[in-house]
Structure 1
Amino acid sequence: MIYLDVFNRDYLNSTPITGIVHPTDLSYLRRMFIFNKDAIENYYQERNFAVKNTHILSRILEHFPTYIQYDTFRYIDYSLDKLKYLAKHFKFTSDIERGIVHPGYFYGNENEEIIIASYELFNVQELTNNWKKAKSVYTLSHNRNDSRLLLPLGSDDGSKSGLCSLMINIPKLAVQYREFNKQQAAHELGNAEDGTMVLNKNHFVIKYVISNMMEDVIDHMLLNKVIDRFYGIETEIPKFKHRFKIFEPTVQIERYVDQTLDVITSKSLDFVNILHNIHLIFKIDASELLALPDISETNQVKWALFISRLDYMIFLFDVAKNKSTNKHYINDWKRLAKRIERDNRLSGIFSYEVEKDIKEKLYRITQM
């Protein structure tokens, strides 16, 4: 995205990496959180929990019949045509729809959520072969800073709240759901013999969509811990926990956060290498996590992408030891913030409190 090179995947890949320091407990944390992620996925995929018919993903899937007679590529074309309709119908943000801000369908707790409906290229063969592990809903930002790792089911669980941003790859979700339906059709044929329960879209949503969001939940949680510690914000512990055992390596997380902050506050790093020094679990580091999706950047969607990175821009400015090293990034951000203010693109989208907070942050950027 123009003016946001720091979050551009191609730019990040071409920028030299320097001054990298690995926290002492990184390998241990990766083992523990991979174990936790697998335990959470297995628990929900081995049991037949279901969301309600009113869940936003369930409502989307109502619009996708299986159409077995279509090959996969024709079905993707069909889903692309549906994407335009769904963005308008559900008021999602897309390359042709400005959209609205939604209630906390995923992260609950009176959150407001920007939901981008889009199409990002994916490996079709890999998806059809491994659809149970595929990720079709991506978290671009959330606010949780606890290690209980609750599923983003939209419940008011006491987690930290705020503005969240998500992207739904509609064609990928549709193909994934179609493969699920093919499996259920096969089960239905043999149901009389083996007693296999035939599942529906509400089971699919929790088993294979929401449970597969955990990688993003975990990586953003660790990044949030680093940011919140820098600003002196306390961890907000949810009211609930999983019904099964997961590891919460509190001591190691605290040491990881302290060591990470020590590096990025004491060394004269540019913004890109600050992100490279915030090491994560499933993404290599924060630069990979915060890279914006490869989607059409029309005026309708630019505001949503910008807002999804607003807090990280301010954090990078605040945490950087040497501002002059990053002057070219800062000047770009100022231009973009002034353009968004001038075009009045954000007026009337958010609640009063969130809009006020965003405008204050935009002003901060213009004054950097």
Structure 2
Amino acid sequence: MFATPIHNLFSGTSHRSAVLTIAAILAMMSLIGVANAATPVAHVYVAEPTQILGYNAAPDGTLTAIPGSPFPISVFGMAVTGSYLFGSSFDGVHVNSYHIQANGSLVFATSTNVAKFNTGTTCPNLQASPLVLDHTGATLYTVAYHGATCNSTSYKSFAINKSTGGLSYLGDSGTRKVWNFPLTFSSSNQFAYGAGCVGGLTTPYWAESFGILKRSTSGLLTYTTASAPKPPTKDSSYFFCRSLASASPSDDLIVGVYKLTSTSTSLFNHGSMLATYEMQSNGSLATNSKYNNMPWVTQVGELADLKMSPSGKFIAVAGSSGLIVWHVNEDAAPSRYNGLLTSDLIDDVSWDNGNHLYAVSVEGRLHVFTITADTYVEAPGSPYSVPAGGYAIRMIVQPLTD
């Protein structure tokens, strides 16, 4: 550590002074070590109905409260950049911007009325949620509802003013049936993908919507005619209905797939699987997935969230009966990693860049796991109590490391 032998630093110094100087240096080194050990690798924000809980995540996954947490902020959908946290208000009208301080605390910056751009529809705003950011954090996207029965959606695009956190309207994506969210972006930032499976809207009873949108240089998202074929079934006695999608850095897309019949009374009647797609240059998707080579993920129950790790090596699958992780094998099918990490009803999951997987349960628990190629371990103190158990709880993670 020292370029000069340490005894040479004290030549001409009394023995007592040298001892005191060495003690001071060791104390300083110890403090530096403690400071480095405590340097957070991520900020974690959990939105309850009337407040946001903020945590700093240590390298081992331990969570400590951000100064000022809980913050008296009432939002539902959230998105986060390095400088701002965006939250959609429960009135479905506004998206609020909060400046993230160096210690992770949140300070109100500005509010944007996004509902005024939802022209040509009589549908209620429901919630200006979910919120989606492109990879660069330059553009924010919200959802608007359309149609006689409000069973269609469009995406509104907003440019972010990085100085103020304000939003400037760019335009509308066009409308599609059912719901195509949450969105996930290709590595080039040129295309966004979303899948939804909803009951009771068309014949057969379960209806699928798979959306592919192209992002312009301005940030505007518009629907494309790019194709995304369904995985083939063995016969016509059932069909596949796709829901949730997550993209890897190498432009593979993992999609949740339900096996259903026209008489199925729930999404979970016949279980769920994972399909793998490869992105093409025009945004279309190609797949070798079919009925006999897709891995089952039935053990998590009805799918609630699907999130790729930043490395693209793992896919987290969350649902009504728990959480699992699978190895991602580029354009081949994901392979088994382990069993259930927890049997809690997991509603929302997220990753940081330090191999940590965060999972929040509607039962009022926040889990943190460290995931490596061969093993997983729950972080010290996990699961953490989230007071507003029983409600839909949203979570967002801001990584602080590359």
Give yes or no for TM over 0.5. no
Please, what TM-score do these two structures have when normalized by structure 1? 0.26
Higher strand share: 2
Higher RCO, Cα 8 Å, sep 6+: 1
Please, what TM-score do these two structures have when normalized by structure 2? 0.25
Mark the structure with the bigger radius of gyration.
2
Higher helix share: 1
